[in-house]
Amino acid sequence: MNIAILASGGDGSGMNLFLYHVVKKLKNHNITLFKSGFCGLCDDITCDFDLSYIKEHRNDGGIMIKTSRCEQFMTKQGQDKAINTLKRHKIDVVIVMGGNGTLKGAEILHQNGVKVVFVPCSIDNDVSPSEYSIGFDTACQTCVEYIQKVNDTMLSFDRGCVYEVMGRHCDAIAKKVGQLVDADYVYKNTSTLKQCVQALKKSKKSAPIVVLQENVTDVSQLSKNLESEISKEVKFCVVGYIQRGGKPSKKEKAFARLFATCSADAVNNDSSFSMCAVKNNNVTCLNLS
Ligand code: F6P
């Protein structure tokens, strides 16, 4: 079989490991790795990595075949170019790694008669109906380490701090990290300043912690508002892109392997549109067609 693999949207730890396991499992097939996601499909750009190179870099952060948010593929012209590329390479099935935006791109391929296997990869953990997407656990662990280190100095000065974490419009990282660092308040899109102030006033900590979901409110303004309300210095930190990098956590490694087994099986099944998903803690293959 001729199998294409691509990654699109935000990257996350564990994607290289998934790539390694799936390429290894499918090594008896002809695999084409498209570079920079749907852009690589539109412009027919591939990577010629062999299994030993992929193995060597399997625990690296990022995604070695590169990713993009491809504007070209949003147009009918771009989509036609991508479909023609797949025809030229005589591709039988495309394995697509990405988040919920990428799932829409995968659906476009499917609507054009391409067999697709979709694999949830996004630190945001917002790929419904899967309970897990590759990159989430490592991103949360990174946030925890970051917050714990910053909190050391906040404690020395008795300062509060607001930590903005990623997630686009999803509160999964904020909620999980808030739990893990025992935050005084997790500021999500349903939150109000009043609720946050009340939580900090109730807190017995000398260095209270607020975890803020990105795209909800301005982090600098929030820290200023809190500072004037609780009569304590309140700093802010944007955790940022560090959340997408680094070596995969143990949980990430386990899911990368399980998703690879699931995708390799899906390549051979009858469904023209499959998705590897975690349901009730088990990796399963959903038929989206
Ligand atoms: O979707 C993953 C993510 O890291 C989001 O959490 C964040 O909002 C976005 O990507 C940032 O995207 P970019 O890399 O395009 O700045």
Is 120 in the same domain as 192?
no
Is 280 in the same domain as 231?
no
- Write a three-state SS string for the chain: CEEEEEECCCCCCCHHHHHHHHHHHCCCCEEEEECCCHHHHHHCCEECCCHHHHHHCCCCCCCCCCCCCCCHHHCHHHHHHHHHHHHHCCCCEEEEEECHHHHHHHHHHHHCCCEEEEEEECCCCCCCCCCCCECHHHHHHHHHHHHHHHHHHHHHHCCEEEEEECCCCCCHHHHHHHHHCCCCEEECCCCCHHHHHHHHHHCCCCCCEEEEECCCCCHHHHHHHHHHHHCCCEEEEECHHHHHCCCCCHHHHHHHHHHHHHHHHHHHCCCCEEEEEEECCEEEEEECC
Res 279: pLDDT:
97
Is 282 in the same domain as 255?
yes
Is 155 in the same domain as 280?
no
Is 130 in the same domain as 10?
yes
Convert the pLDDT of each residue in 70-128 to its tens digit: 999 999 999 999 999 999 999 999 999 999 999 999 999 999 999 999 999 999 999 99
Pocket flag, ligand 1, residue 124 (CB < 6 Å): yes
Residue 94's domain spans which residues? 2-134+248-287
Is 7 in the same domain as 122?
yes
Question: Domain containing 95 — which CATH number?
Answer: 3.40.50.450
> Ligand 1 pocket: which of 69, 165, 166 to mutate (most atoms <8 Å of CB)?
166
Q: Domain count of the chain?
A: 2
Convert the pLDDT of each residue in 184-211 to its tens digit: 999 999 999 999 999 999 999 999 999 9
Res 41: pLDDT:
98
Residues taking part in catalysis: 124
Question: Domain containing 182 — which CATH number?
Answer: 3.40.50.460
**Percentage of residues of the chain with pLDDT beyond 70:** 100
Predicted confidence (pLDDT) at residue 64 exceeds the cutoff of 90: yes
Is 60 in the same domain as 163?
no
- Mean pLDDT, the chain, rounded, equals 98
Res 224: pLDDT:
98
> Which of ligand 1's atoms lies nearest the C-alpha of 123?
2
Convert the pLDDT of each residue in 28-51 to its tens digit: 999 999 999 999 999 999 999 999
Predicted confidence (pLDDT) at residue 281 exceeds the cutoff of 90: yes
What pTM was computed for the model?
Answer: 0.97
Is 221 in the same domain as 255?
no
In angstroms, the CA 93 to CA 90 distance is: 9
Res 199: pLDDT:
98
Is 16 in the same domain as 118?
yes
Is 63 in the same domain as 28?
yes
Convert the pLDDT of each residue in 210-228 to its tens digit: 999 999 999 999 999 999 9
For residue 183, the CA-to-ligand 1 centroid distance in Å is: 23
Is 234 in the same domain as 264?
no
Give 289's pLDDT tier (boundaries 50, 70, 90). confident
> Which of ligand 1's atoms lies nearest the C-alpha of 170?
6
Is 164 in the same domain as 216?
yes
